[in-house]
Amino acid sequence: MFEASAQSALLTIEINLEALKDEALRERYADRLAVLAAEIGELKESILEATRRRMGE
């Protein structure tokens, strides 16, 4: 659920970036969006690993 919510938020931002007229600002936000997307993936993997460890205890 975490990943789906985060992906939905990222997609909304990506859609709205298209309307941004300031190209430099749009690029800066797009770069930040890419970083956040990567962090979401890392967090998801970390959460899954921790959950699986606890299930194995």
Band the pLDDT of 21: cuts 50, 70, 90. very high
Indicate if the pLDDT at residue 57 is higher than 80: no
Closest CA to 3 of 52, 39, 30: 39
| Residue 16 burial (CB count, 10 A) | 11
How far is residue 8's CA from residue 6's CA, in Å, rounded to a whole number?
A: 5
User: Which residues are CB-contacts of 20 (< 8 A; sequence separation ≥ 6)?
Assistant: 26, 29
**Domain range for 16:** 2-56
Band the pLDDT of 23: cuts 50, 70, 90. very high
* pLDDT at 22 (0 to 100): 96
Tokens of 47: 């959460």
Give how many domains the chain has, as a whole number: 1
How far is residue 41's CA from residue 57's CA, in Å, rounded to a whole number?
A: 25
Task: Kindly report the pTM of this predicted structure.
Answer: 0.75
